[in-house]
Structure 1
Amino acid sequence: MAISSIGVGSGLPLDQLLEDLRKSENAPLALLQSKATDYQNRFTAYGTIKSSIEALKTASDALGKSETFGALKTSVNTDAFTASASNKAIAGQYSVNVTQLATAQTLTSGGYADRKEELADGSVKITIALENGESKDFTLSRDQATMEGLVKAINAESGLGVSATMVNDGSGTPHRLLITANDTGEKAAVKGITVAAGETNGASDFSKLQNLIGFGAGEPAGGTGLTVTAAKNAELSINGIDIVSQGNTIEDAIEGVTLTLSKETEAGKTNTLSITRDDSVTSKAINTFVSAYNNLQGIIKTLTAYDVDSQKGAALTGDSLARRVQTQVRAALNSSEASGAIANLSQMGISTDPVTGNLKVDDKKLTAALKDNMADVQKLFAGENGLSARMAAVATEFTKSGGIIANATDSISQTLKDLEKQYDATTERIDAKMESYRRQFVALDSMMAQMNSVSSYLTQQLAMLNNLSSNSDK
């Protein structure tokens, strides 16, 4: 709103006066803005605490899983296979000899000059039977009865157990059909492929198609047919016990162990698999939990701090919710009901710093506890009312939808909306008031201008009268 011209008529600094009045009237807006900033800082702080609680819950949940305790690691002295072990495996050493890898069956057709050549004069039904006793059929329409159409049809059908492609060998009849079993092993191989007239618009001549893919019982005498590369099962021995597998990934031949075969064992070489305990998995999970716990404590400390020198608090100084989080998390940490050689955290090398409240880990003591008392450590963390369960209950109370933090942030959101409405209403009121001031000042300026004009006129008239009087006296 332009006010720079006000005061010209009167010579008074009315524009500066209006500006000063605006600053004075804006004081309530600054107060509302300050309140809104404080509430927004609290809202953000609650979100930070919630994220830290969720991170702590994730870390404590890991300590509630059985696979965190008594984990095993594998090592092999060969590139013939790799191995992984779950906690169901038993530590030990095994001799593994791979004599044959599992392979998939392939069927290769003879060469054709034209990949788009019509192979049937009507629709045909093709049936693919597998060695495992399963079979499935599909229908090709006349316009699909080409090498290209057959490849598309095979790949579009689910459950056939095979995939198809074409290979160009560069000869005079370069196009060859290649059908490959989707899985390795003898049971996944194709037993037979037969061709018959379709039920609708059935072909009367489909000899070319039959010559292309006829196999097994459906292969015509003297036909082109398919060249077969047979499927193979994987064969190996474990400590002298022969094992046969459809695939090269073998689960639970040794309980809890997965073997992945990659090559046959070299003649005269002994392949060894060693399975040993891996306490580092448990140690890492515990240290991750300690870090998450200390991070939460540090965040709460920062958000509730008070600077004595500046006499200024942080976003949550004096906030009861932040203190409640701290109190309940500490209670969940220390209210152990476990028994045995390791019945509390301090017995496994985890103590609380009396100054900072943070947890400290004695690595040597922890390593010894895991080595000698893994069962008790697991019970302490993953038992029915172990630390993991207690911490999850506390964390959920604060972070769940409709939980303590959600209710607090919802309340702040509503307060921020109310402050925004107050701010807008106050702004409108101040604008109206300033407009009233402006009109009054315009009127004052006009009146003063008129008065100054009258004053000047009267001054001139009086001066003229004085001149006349002086002249008459002479």
Structure 2
Amino acid sequence: MAISSIGVGSGLPLDQLLTDFRNSENQALALIQKKQVSEQSRLTAYGRIQSSIEALKTAAEKLGKDDTYGGLKTSVSGDAFTASATNKAIAGQYDIRVETLASAQSLVTNGVADRAQAIGTGGTITIELADGTTQSIELGSEDTSINGLIKAINQADPSLGVRATVINDGGAEPHRLLLTATATGENAAVSRITVDDNAQLEALIGFDSSGANPNIQEQKANNATLFINGIEISSQTNQVENAIEGVTLTLTKADESATLKVERDDAGTTQAIKAFVTAYNNLQSTIKSLTSYDVEAQQGSALTGDTLARRAQAATRDALNGFSSEGTLRTLSQLGITTNPTTGQLEVNDEKLSAGIKDHLGDVQRLLAGEGGLAERFKATTENFLGSKGYIQSAKDGADRTLANLQRQYDDTSARIDAKMENYRRQFTALDSMMAQMSSVSSYLTQQLSMLGNLYEKK
């Protein structure tokens, strides 16, 4: 710590001397800081490698999934429905007519003058659906007004099967309770509503689908009806699954016909393979940039000479080596995927890849997703590096320990330097004081000698 007053008494540059001592001692701190920066760079670099390996693992997992192969696409000639297909579907053409769309039932009660006015007291509402599901709502001391009923119904168990709101028709008694089934189709419709221990509420909302209901207007539920190549299909919803195996139809317009085409689509397989190649090349590029050495500048990178980086590079390259024991396409090179011997990057021959997928899809799937195939090999390889006990986490833990040790060294060294500088300061202060006293004595003696000299001359 520099004290500006040091040196005033002696006239010596003690303040600058303290600063020079501090700068000299701080070289030890600078060395520790340099090591900290280097170790932090290592830790960051491990994180980059981890991210690249995770991306490679994800891409390899995609290659191992059955739905990556044999994909199908759909096209629809009209606007009666939309369609999607999984790889379980069979390519073909289908003539489809949508007769009716599925709709939900709604019930509207007679109106009341005041929506906040209680309708009787308490009671138990029981709602039975057409599929036999029954749920009850205990009102007890709860509000039995239109507002209270809406709250009780909408906050009940979702399996109740209905939602409630209010319609204002503008009449003398305008507030009418509207109940709407939460799902479409006849089986989701309300078949009966009863209210026990509250006759007034029973009179307002009591309902039985088998008889007349003068207090309630019903808009009936409908099932969707469609014909696929002349075969009638009925559906509770407008999303019709597996009427054609592997195909989902979403009905959008009634009394309309359209043609559905289901065709082979290899784009998903191609994209998955190219995504894997990109992920692999990104990892190799990342490792190369983190381990390179600039000869001219004589400067290494964050992981130059690091064993983990080299291990990751070698392990992923080794995982490429494999072949299928059967079929026409047995190796990656036959599929058009080769390694550039100069850069170590994978290269794709688009023409060979497209032909291989088109003509030998089974071989491609065995090579990439089969037992012992590319996906399995990379799964095993990447798992060695990832996870709480993987190589990368072990390396990161080691870097964290080193950083903690360096911080302790820095703190200890800094404290030692502060103590040494404080000792210097005290010594310099004492020196300054002593030199000031000596200067004062010297001035006094000089003055006295001068006075004696003057007296002698006068005599």
Separation in structure 2 between the aligned mates of residue 328 and residue 136 of structure 1, nearest angstrom? 60
Separation in structure 2 between the aligned mates of residue 209 and residue 230 of structure 1, nearest angstrom? 22
Contact kept? 2:104, 2:183, Cα under 8 Å: yes
Contact kept? 2:181, 2:190, Cα under 8 Å: yes
CA drift of 1:349 comes to 1.1
Contact kept? 1:105, 1:229, Cα under 8 Å: yes
1:317-355 superposed Cα distances (whole Å, 9 cap, x missing partner): 111110001000111122345542221211111111122
Q: 1:264 aligned to 2:254? A: yes
Equivalent residue number for residue 200 of structure 1 = none
Distance 1:452 1:92, change over 3 A: same
Separation in structure 1 between the aligned mates of residue 135 and residue 265 of structure 2, nearest angstrom? 48
Equivalent residue number for residue 145 of structure 1 = 144
CA drift of 1:400 comes to 0.7
The structure 1 residue matched to 2:283, chosen from 287, 296, 300, is: 296
The structure 1 residue matched to 2:424, chosen from 434, 437, 442, is: 437
State the secondary structure of the residue aligned to 1:129. strand
- Greater shift in the superposed pair: 42-51 or 178-187: 178-187
Equivalent residue number for residue 216 of structure 2 = 226
Contact kept? 1:265, 1:271, Cα under 8 Å: no
Q: How does 1:34-433 map to 2 (within 5 A)?
A: 34-120=34-120, 122-141=121-140, 144-158=143-157, 159-197=159-197, 203=198, 206=199, 208-216=200-208, 224-266=214-256, 270-433=257-420
Distance 1:115 1:468, change over 3 A: closer
Separation in structure 1 between the aligned mates of residue 26 and residue 142 of structure 2, nearest angstrom? 82
Equivalent position amino acid for 1:398 in 2: F
State the secondary structure of the residue aligned to 1:183. coil
Equivalent position amino acid for 2:376 in 1: A
Equivalent residue number for residue 451 of structure 1 = 438
State the secondary structure of the residue aligned to 2:112. coil
Instruction: Report how many aligned residue pairs link the two structures.
Output: 458
Separation in structure 2 between the aligned mates of residue 150 and residue 6 of structure 1, nearest angstrom? 87
CA drift of 1:129 comes to 2.1
Separation in structure 2 between the aligned mates of residue 337 and residue 282 of structure 1, nearest angstrom? 18
Separation in structure 1 between the aligned mates of residue 209 and residue 46 of structure 2, nearest angstrom? 74
State the secondary structure of the residue aligned to 2:192. strand
Separation in structure 2 between the aligned mates of residue 358 and residue 366 of structure 1, nearest angstrom? 17
1:49-75 superposed Cα distances (whole Å, 9 cap, x missing partner): 111110111111111111111111111
1:115-159 superposed Cα distances (whole Å, 9 cap, x missing partner): 234432x43233222222232333333653333222222222222
- Greater shift in the superposed pair: 130-139 or 417-426: 130-139
1:361-399 superposed Cα distances (whole Å, 9 cap, x missing partner): 111111111101111111111112111111121111111
Separation in structure 2 between the aligned mates of residue 421 and residue 117 of structure 1, nearest angstrom? 74
Distance 1:458 1:336, change over 3 A: farther
Separation in structure 2 between the aligned mates of residue 16 and residue 351 of structure 1, nearest angstrom? 67
Separation in structure 1 between the aligned mates of residue 294 and residue 142 of structure 2, nearest angstrom? 84
Contact kept? 2:72, 2:89, Cα under 8 Å: yes
Distance 1:456 1:385, change over 3 A: same
Aligned residues: CA RMSD: 1.9
Contact kept? 1:338, 1:386, Cα under 8 Å: no
CA drift of 1:445 comes to 2.0
Q: 1:7 aligned to 2:7? A: yes
Equivalent position amino acid for 2:242 in 1: D
Separation in structure 2 between the aligned mates of residue 336 and residue 190 of structure 1, nearest angstrom? 61
Separation in structure 1 between the aligned mates of residue 13 and residue 202 of structure 2, nearest angstrom? 107
Contact kept? 1:105, 1:231, Cα under 8 Å: yes
CA drift of 1:459 comes to 3.4
Q: Which runs of 5 or more residues in structure 1 are unaligned?
A: 198-202
Separation in structure 2 between the aligned mates of residue 27 and residue 51 of structure 1, nearest angstrom? 36
Equivalent position amino acid for 1:55 in 2: A
Contact kept? 1:109, 1:224, Cα under 8 Å: no
Distance 1:19 1:132, change over 3 A: same
- TM-score w.r.t. length of structure 2: 0.95
Equivalent position amino acid for 2:229 in 1: N
Q: How does 1:17-32 map to 2 (within 5 A)?
A: 17-32=17-32
- Greater shift in the superposed pair: 449-458 or 231-240: 449-458
State the secondary structure of the residue aligned to 2:320. helix
- Identity of paired residues, percent? 57
Distance 1:37 1:117, change over 3 A: closer
Separation in structure 2 between the aligned mates of residue 438 and residue 191 of structure 1, nearest angstrom? 96
- TM-score w.r.t. length of structure 1: 0.92
CA drift of 1:306 comes to 0.8
State the secondary structure of the residue aligned to 2:24. helix
Q: Which runs of 5 or more residues in structure 2 are unaligned?
A: none
- Greater shift in the superposed pair: 322-331 or 23-32: 23-32
Separation in structure 2 between the aligned mates of residue 337 and residue 85 of structure 1, nearest angstrom? 29
Contact kept? 1:71, 1:87, Cα under 8 Å: yes
Separation in structure 1 between the aligned mates of residue 117 and residue 412 of structure 2, nearest angstrom? 82
Contact kept? 2:167, 2:176, Cα under 8 Å: yes
Distance 1:91 1:461, change over 3 A: same
State the secondary structure of the residue aligned to 1:432. helix
Separation in structure 2 between the aligned mates of residue 217 and residue 435 of structure 1, nearest angstrom? 96
Contact kept? 1:55, 1:292, Cα under 8 Å: yes
CA drift of 1:162 comes to 1.6
Separation in structure 1 between the aligned mates of residue 354 and residue 73 of structure 2, nearest angstrom? 17
State the secondary structure of the residue aligned to 1:273. strand
